[in-house]
Structure 1
């Protein structure tokens, strides 16, 4: 039976000589759905949609480039021997932390130039970013990457997973933990939580910081299950260290901004850009 299992073709369709990969399609769908969700919130928060779209046009390509640079830099032993692989992002190898750093730096510069509140924009974008991440993990599923340790088929069946997921987790004769799925579900739960937090007395900036906290907690534990982690040393996973650092900074920023009075405007306040 196992010999008959065929993985999903990573190529979605052909446009003449061009192969369109599912990885890129899925990331694109995640970005579009995230944008749709953010634009709906822009209306409620008094943010000009054109301003937000202008930011996205800068942030997405810069985030993808930074995500790739981040990944390649920690896998340089391989890529210096295979430089032609550096631009082939459809083969996988986009580090979310690198993309997040690129997107945040872009947003900081953009909002300063446009003289709008970074925190207000970041709060609106937070659930959208997490939604895009949740969808993007299915690109890893297609590429059969970002999985965990070996498990039995019975283990996967006991999770009541659909047959297509179980079969795709059969890689080179072995079944693996679908850690991509764990993170996708964690992120989707985070989207719901962040949207619900919008209705509370959270202050401006704290939705985005809550996103950083939520994602970092999930990523820390799920990363520990993966077999393809970027490693700082033999036993030290880069993503776990970055997650701890982001978690700590986000918590401290919430405390600091409240103490200093920098978080005095409620998130629901929609008539101020500062």
Structure 2
């Protein structure tokens, strides 16, 4: 009988001597490179020095990676306490987007304050590029056959008009699975399109609102997609990502309304006024 499981894609892209280069890392790196390029391009228009963005990335990327892994390990400690050697094997997957966002945001706030760059403006410039990188990064999960959903049928997957390689890759542990990686990838990509379409409309976003809209968009979609997954990180029988999604969504809404009360907050398109005036 034809073994569908054997059609799974190889997660290893190529070898450099004894080193295995995984598609997971290549895909995530590609998303990050594109995000940095787009952030620098937009940052120039908003009065942010490209060198400041590059310097910030040098700090933010390691922090994001460490916090993403730390977040995952903490909520999977029952496994890792007995397998400590597995903690560093980040190339096999097992990083949490929310952990990376928390780590990166802490660095962005610290960096911007040390360089006297408007924090909210920097977060606004970065937000659409981050959600695009998230959309791309989910395909790393696809290659690793992770971040999937509950058991479904071949007929269901065919009804979605998915290419055969995606359908084959969703055959995991003897059953077809919901392609929740794809749902989140598409949701994030549409969020990217929404943000880049709206942010250049005059008098639409105050500084900080592009970022807060990103938080609302992503957390709203993640809440429902997380409910379909079978590999969620749990806390007291609750899905951690769903809890955090609710907190972030409500917090972002409150912040938007609160900050709108201050009429001195500049519009997004005004950018870094001190830098733009000096030009």
Q: TM class by shorter-chain length?
A: over 0.9
Q: 1:273 to 1:233 in 2, by over 3 A?
A: farther
Give the alignment of 1:141-156 within 5 angstroms.
141-156=142-157
State which of 214, 225, 228 in structure 2 corresponds to 1:222: 225
* Aligned counterparts of 1:71 and 1:260: Cα–Cα separation in 2: 38
Note the C-alpha offset of 1:39. 1.2
Deviations 1:219-269 (A, max 9, x none): 0000000000001122x100000000011111111111111346x211111
Match of 1:164 in 2: 165
Shift of 1:171: 1.0
Q: From the superposition, tell whether residues 73 and 13 of structure 1 become closer, same or farther in structure 2 (CA, over 3 Å).
A: same
Q: Distance in 2 between matches of 1:169 and 1:2?
A: 16
Q: Mark the CA change 1:184 to 1:2 in structure 2 (over 3 Å): closer, same or farther.
A: farther
- CA contact under 8 A between 2:39 and 2:126: conserved in structure 1? yes
Separation in 1, partners of 2:2, 2:121? 51
Q: What runs of 5+ residues in structure 1 fail to find an aligned partner?
A: none
Q: How does 1:130-209 map to 2 (within 5 A)?
A: 130-200=131-201, 201-209=204-212
Q: Structure 1 runs of 4+ off > 3 angstroms?
A: none
The correspondence of residues 1-274 of structure 1 with structure 2, limited to 5 A, is 2-4=2-4, 5-200=6-201, 201-234=204-237, 236-261=238-263, 264-272=265-273
Paired residues, number: 272
| Conservation of the 8 A alpha-carbon contact between 1:116 and 1:273 | no
CA RMSD of aligned residues (A): 1.2
Deviation track 1:20-50 (CA, whole Å, cap 9, x = no partner) reads: 1111111100100111111110121111000
Tell me, what secondary structure is at the counterpart of 2:15? strand
- Aligned-partner Cα distance in 1 for 2:122–2:109: 10
CA distance in 1, matches of 2:62, 2:132: 18
Aligned partner of residue 260 in structure 1, secondary structure: coil
CA distance in 1, matches of 2:174, 2:78: 28
CA distance in 1, matches of 2:256, 2:116: 23
3-state SS of 1:26 partner:
helix
